[in-house]
């Protein structure tokens, strides 16, 4: 059974607090009629602080789309490798053991994808498959987990690396003063996360079933307007109410698997905002404390887009309370309106007796290379 191992997560060194956010919003958007409502909504997010890749003074500037994308490239190449190394170590693998890299990001654009740079600069095999996902926004973290699951079900010997690089502060648009834009300015933060889905072995969430769902006729509720100045985030006021139609979908996924979505052991839910977490807990009939890892992520880092589910999962690992066999659900939500969902069971790695010697699991990459050669090196 494919296993989602412990994620690694890193946030930038520059911190902006709730108080900073409110102060800068009042200064930059002074006199705008929507500002009082936006300030109240920002205060209700519960976001205590966020981390960003530049000092706030530079983040508030707009040097142009070209310069922002240059910063995105520079920062992603600097910040992704150490997070990837940690995620590989968590899975007891090396770069040579990875067969697929799924890279998700909606806050910058590179072609070729960063996956090509990672392969060339970190020692991944040249036949490593590349799967960049750029347009699923916050749902992409869940989508990456599900596509990794699919790959490992098709190729049980495969290991899949997931990398989420979200530098949301590079999308700030100082001229946008709609309530949705102003709210997003106080909600989103920057982060890099990575995790490995092992085809066999590993400790973590044994992925058993996944599903996708698109709420009909909501494609313009969360979107980017792509203009000369870059990505302009558009957020419809109806988005926070989407948990009512999505909760039955989550229930059905669990029910189809023989489980009750109201009675699971862990919930890793995208922390898009406080109402999403409140409403989903209500409609699933779950105590909101079961979403504690998502709440903590929102409080400490804000909405870090596709990286949220990996950060919330990291907190579950660190809590260290899950027994083998514990059941849970992972769900990410984003543009579409799209839901990417998975159910799984906590599993503890039990090495085969033949593996109990001094040779680590990751030392088998030469044998894996030979196996790929005998398969014709097909990628």
The two structure tokens encoding residue 374: 């005998």
Map tokens 């059905």 to a residue: 252
The two structure tokens encoding residue 324: 């083998």
How far is it, in rounded angstroms, from Cα 56 to Cα 60? Answer: 6
359: helix, coil or strand? coil
- CB atoms under 10 Å from CB of 193, counted, come to 31
How far is it, in rounded angstroms, from Cα 306 to Cα 286? Answer: 24
Q: Sign of torsion, CA 318 321 324 327?
A: negative
How far is it, in rounded angstroms, from Cα 296 to Cα 280? Answer: 16
Closest by Cα among 10, 8, 308 to 161: 8
- CB atoms under 10 Å from CB of 323, counted, come to 8
Calculate Rg over the CA atoms of the chain.
Answer: 21
138 catalytic, yes or no? yes
φ, ψ at 38 (rounded to 5°): -60, -40
Map tokens 């890793």 to a residue: 268
Query: Which of the following is catalytic: 5, 106, 138, 165?
Result: 138
Strand positions, DSSP E, the chain: 3-4, 8-10, 14-17, 49-52, 100-104, 129-133, 159-167, 190-198, 204-214, 222-227, 230-235, 266-269, 327-334, 338-347
Is residue 20 within a helix (H) or strand (E), and if so which, with residue range?
helix 18-28
Closest by Cα among 227, 230, 235, 297 to 71: 230
For the packed helices 243-256 and 274-284, what is the interaxial angle rounded to 10 degrees?
50
Mind telling me the catalytic residues? Answer: 138
């Amino acid at each position: 059974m494919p296993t989602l191992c412990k994620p690694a997560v890193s946030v930038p060194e520059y911190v902006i607090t709730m108080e900073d956010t409110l102060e800068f919003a009042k200064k930059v958007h002074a006199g705008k009629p929507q500002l009082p409502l936006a300030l109240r909504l920002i205060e209700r997010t519960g976001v205590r602080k966020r981390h960003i890749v530049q000092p706030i003074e530079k983040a508030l500037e707009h040097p142009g789309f070209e310069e922002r994308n240059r910063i995105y490239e520079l920062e992603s190449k600097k910040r992704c490798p150490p997070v990837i190394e940690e995620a590989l170590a968590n899975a007891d693998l090396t770069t040579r053991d990875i067969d697929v890299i799924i890279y998700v990001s909606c806050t910058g654009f590179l072609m070729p994808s960063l996956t090509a740079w990672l392969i060339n600069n970190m020692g991944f095999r040249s036949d490593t498959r590349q799967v960049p996902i750029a347009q699923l926004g916050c749902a992409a973290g869940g989508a990456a987990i599900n596509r990794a699951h699919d790959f490992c079900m098709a190729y049980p010997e495969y290991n899949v690396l997931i990398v989420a690089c979200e530098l949301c502060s590079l999308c700030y648009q100082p001229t946008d003063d709609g309530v949705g834009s102003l709210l997003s300015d106080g909600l989103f933060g920057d982060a890099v996360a990575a995790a490995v889905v092992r085809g066999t072995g590993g400790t973590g969430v044994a992925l058993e079933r996944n599903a996708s769902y698109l709420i009909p006729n909501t494609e313009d509720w969360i979107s980017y307007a792509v203009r000369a100045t870059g990505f302009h985030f558009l957020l419809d006021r109806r988005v926070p109410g989407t948990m009512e139609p999505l909760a039955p979908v989550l229930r059905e996924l669990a029910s189809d698997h023989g489980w009750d979505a109201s009675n699971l052991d862990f919930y890793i839910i995208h922390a898009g905002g406080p109402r999403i977490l409140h409403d989903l807990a209500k409609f699933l009939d779950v105590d909101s404390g079961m979403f504690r890892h998502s709440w903590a992520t929102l409080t400490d880092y804000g909405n870090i887009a596709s990286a949220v589910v990996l950060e919330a999962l990291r907190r579950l690992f660190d809590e260290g309370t899950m027994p083998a066999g514990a059941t849970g659900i992972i769900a990410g939500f984003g543009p579409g309106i799209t839901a990417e969902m998975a159910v799984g069971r906590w599993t503890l790695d039990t090495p085969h007796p033949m593996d109990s010697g001094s040779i680590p699991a990751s030392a088998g990459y030469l044998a894996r290379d030979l196996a790929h050669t005998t398969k014709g090196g097909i990628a």
